[in-house]
Amino acid sequence: MSEVLIKVENVSKKFCKQLNRGLWYGVQDLATGIVGNSKERDLRKAEFWAVNDISFELKRGECLGLLGHNGAGKSTLLKVLNGLIMPDRGRVEMRGRVNALIELGAGFNPILTGRENIYNNAAVLGLSKAQTNNKLDEIIAFSELEEFIDTPVQYYSSGMKVRLGFSVAAHLEPDILILDEVLAVGDAGFKIKSFNKMMELMKTAAVLFVSHSMPNVARVCNKVIFMQHGKELYFGEDIHKGIEMYFDEFSGESSMIENDKGASISNFKINSKPADKIESKDNIVQVKYGDDLVVECEIEIKDPTVQEYYILMSITDKDLKIVANFITNKFSPTFKVKDKNHIKMVFPEMLLIDGEYSITYFVMSNNGNENQYTYLANYRNYTKFKVTGLKENVYASIFLKGDVYQNGELLVK
């Protein structure tokens, strides 16, 4: 059985909204802290719980993702776990060497060079100079800062600080690694290296990971906590349930017709169910992971000069990120214009993670000029569907391929 490295029992932390009152409360807490006045652990005027009754365990070899909107209490909880602030209630037990990167450049002395900061961080963790020397070349190489390692850190860019900080945190053999949004900065190549390193660390360490990037969470975490206003609303191994709860906090971009001067789109259907601008969550069409997705609509061209047109369909998640694209002219000759065309697009085996998605529709024309496209219509996030049934931690970003029907006739397979 894996060793439990982090044990959190009913932890709560409060703050005061008013500075002067908060300073006075601080004096009172110092005076009563010795005798342990339990009343001082209750909320007083202008106080609020930043973290409220959080409990969980994390074993060696596990990665826990902390999810929640800004102000949910994630960073406060990490500071309590790292010993930077004391909880007002509850108990925290941390076993082994803890290394944390909870703020950009945290723990770095800006006057010292990158090399000197490596030695400082290692010394804080209890490593000798000889032990640090054995890791030094590996740390510098991973950070890709060989040319600037003897430059003062104050001259580093934000990305350089992240690379050095993560490299130090990951290579000093921590038992517990705490990361708070540090991977939001940095180039794609370093992010890939960092994820690979995190997967390697998870074999011997417990990792706490805070991020607003749900693909990152789905990729590396095997447990999640979803927090709202300091409270723990979900804790478990169903990563996609936690991600869906996170996205449900945001209303997303509303449906709208941005342009319909050259064409109009109507009678939307998803898997044979009406889907015209559906806003109610109860009426959103559900598609099981791996099942076919069938999208239908009717196109009417208003511009009499249009000779042929194309349809572009774009799918976005609740984070407003494009996860799939489909354009008809990649798969067939363009459609010949009629008064009204019934278009049916069949996408076999929909491979998107659990969650709610919006579809944006574009109608385009180039009248034979491949270098000049005209947008005839743009229906932004106009229909929605929900994917359910995925149990694995994967995140898909794909180009859709499927069959296209015009007026019932199969055009492409």
Supply 22's token pair: 């908060």
What band does 64 get if pLDDT is binned at 50, 70 and 90? very high
Domain ranges of the chain: 4-247, 256-412
Q: Is the pLDDT of residue 175 over 60?
A: yes
pLDDT digits (tens, 9 = 90+) for 251-277: 555 678 888 988 999 999 999 898 876
48 pLDDT exceeds 80? yes
Averaged confidence pLDDT in the chain:
81
For 373, how many CA atoms within 13 A lie in the half-sphere containing its CB? 11
Q: Where is average pLDDT lowest: 72-76, 186-190, 199-203?
A: 186-190
Nearest to 40 by CA among 86, 81, 92: 86
How is 185-225 classified by DSSP, letter by letter? SS-HHHHHHHHHHHHHHTTTSEEEEE-S-HHHHHHH-SEEE
| pLDDT (average), residues 291-313 | 87
Which pLDDT score, from 0 to 100, does residue 295 have?
92
Name the CATH superfamily for 4-247: P-loop containing nucleotide triphosphate hydrolases (3.40.50.300)
Higher pLDDT residue, 33 or 83?
83
Alpha helices in 68-157 (DSSP H): 74-81, 114-124, 129-143
pLDDT for 413 beyond 80: no
The fraction of the chain above a pLDDT of 70, given in percent, is 82
Check if 4-247 and 256-412 are the same fold.
no
**Mean pLDDT score, 90-119:** 83
- On the question of pLDDT at 339 being above 70, the answer is no
What would the mean pLDDT of 14-21 be, rounded to a whole number? 80
Task: State the Cα–Cα distance between residues 183 and 187, nearest whole angstrom.
Answer: 9
Closest by CA to 92, choosing from 35, 32, 13, is 13
Cα–Cα distance between 96 and 273 in angstroms, integer?
Answer: 55
DSSP string, 266-317: EEEEETTEE-TT---GGGSEEEETTS-EEEEEEEEE--TT--EEEEEEEEE-
* CATH fold of 256-412: Coagulation Factor XIII; Chain A, domain 1 (2.70.50)
pLDDT score of 361 more than 90: yes
Q: CA Rg, the chain, in Å?
A: 27
Beta bridge partners of 56: 8
CB 311 within 8 A of CB 332: no
Could you give the 3-state DSSP secondary structure of residue 61?
A: coil
Confidence of residue 388 (pLDDT cuts 50, 70, 90): confident
- With cut-offs at 50, 70 and 90, classify the pLDDT of residue 398: very low
pLDDT of residue 89: 87
Distance CA 378, CA 361 (A): 6
| pLDDT for res 368 | 66
**Model confidence at 162: pLDDT above 90:** no
What integer pLDDT is reported at residue 168 of this predicted model?
84
pLDDT greater than 50 at residue 410: yes
pLDDT score at 303 = 84
Structure tokens at 354: 């659990």
